[in-house]
Amino acid sequence: MKEKLKIIALNVQFWPLFFLVTLLGIPMLALWIFVRTLFSSHRVRMRIFRRMIVCYGRMVLACMFPWVRVFRELSSEKPTQPAIYICNHRSTSDPFLMALLPGEFIQVVNIWPFKIPILGWFAKWAGYLSVREMPFDQFSKTAADYLKQGISMAAFPEGTRAGEGPMGPFHSSMFRVALATGVPVVPVCISGNQRIPLKGSLRLNPGTIRVRFLPPITADTYREWSPFTFKNHVHDLIKTELKEMDAKRLF
């Protein structure tokens, strides 16, 4: 009974705040950016715009407090910027957790997020990429251009949410981009949000989410690897770490 009351309290609190932040917060932030960058270059405008999206993501995470607590666990080895962040994908809350990433970045997403009103529009304006909407050569060139500008990239190479099931295999696109550009690759393990919300449901459940950054893998290490070897190596690193993180969460 107590757990059911927590679930009700979380959802009654979160969803009105989420829509308030989305429908009012985003336009207000966009107006502030417009005024602030009226006479700025396109590059400066985009940098501030991406910071706004990070701010929005953190506000969404704050809407779940105290029923859902989020912890960022950094590696002692800080990656140089830019970097490619490779994340496991369990829930629709994962993109909002990317607000915990350092520096300026864009996300590589599937097609469907672009179809979401307001959020999809802002994702496109921020330069987010969908590998399924363009030929790989074009995607690779665009990604390389972002990295050359010092803009990191975050990707979910499973391509779809695993939910409470096992982590799916990785696609190789981002690993091919890393091999072509030589930037560090940072594995990111997300644990605890399998039911926040549960796949196929809008109901949030209370819990603790941990986002753990593993040590960066530099070009000196992966330079001679094939994309297949590279993606499987990172997949195994994340899978092993998640097993340890999930085990601790259960006890």
Question: How many helices (H) and strands (E) would you count in the chain?
Answer: 9, 7
According to the model, what pLDDT value does residue 249 have?
66
For residue range 147-204, what is the model confidence (pLDDT) as tens digits? Answer: 999 999 999 999 899 999 999 999 999 999 999 999 999 999 999 999 999 988 999 9
> Tokens standing for 33?
């950016």
Domain that holds residue 141: 68-250
The percent of residues in the chain predicted with pLDDT above 90, rounded, is 68
Question: Do the domain assignments include residue 33?
Answer: no
Return the number of other C-beta atoms located less than 10 Å from residue 57's C-beta. Answer: 18
Question: Do the domain assignments include residue 170?
Answer: yes
Q: What average pLDDT is seen over the chain?
A: 91
For residue range 129-142, what is the model confidence (pLDDT) as tens digits? Answer: 988 888 999 999 99
Number of domains in the chain: 1
How far is the C-alpha of 123 from the C-alpha of 113, rounded, in Å? 8
Question: Do the domain assignments include residue 242?
Answer: yes
Per-residue pLDDT at 110 exceeds 70 = yes
Question: Do the domain assignments include residue 169?
Answer: yes
The DSSP code sequence of 2-56 is: HHHHHHHHHHHHHHHHHHHIIIIIHHHHHHHHHHHTTTS-HHHHHHHHHHHHHHH
How far is the C-alpha of 94 from the C-alpha of 187, rounded, in Å? 14
What is the average pLDDT across 211-220? 97
How far is the C-alpha of 107 from the C-alpha of 96, rounded, in Å? 11
Question: Do the domain assignments include residue 200?
Answer: yes
Backbone angles phi, psi at 153, to 5 degrees: -130, 140
What is the average pLDDT across 86-93? 96
Rounded to the nearest 10 degrees, the angle between the axes of helix 136-148 and helix 173-181 is: 50
According to the model, what pLDDT value does residue 153 have?
97
Question: Do the domain assignments include residue 213?
Answer: yes
Closest by alpha carbon to 124, among 136, 113, 138, 140? 113
Give the distance between the most distant pair of CA atoms in the chain. 57
Question: Do the domain assignments include residue 138?
Answer: yes
The percent of residues in the chain predicted with pLDDT above 70, rounded, is 96
| CATH number of the domain to which 211 belongs | 3.40.1130.10
> Tokens standing for 183?
């930037």
According to the model, what pLDDT value does residue 117 have?
67
Measured in whole angstroms, how far is the alpha carbon of residue 129 from the centre of its chain?
A: 13
According to the model, what pLDDT value does residue 70 have?
98
According to the model, what pLDDT value does residue 251 have?
44
Question: Do the domain assignments include residue 12?
Answer: no
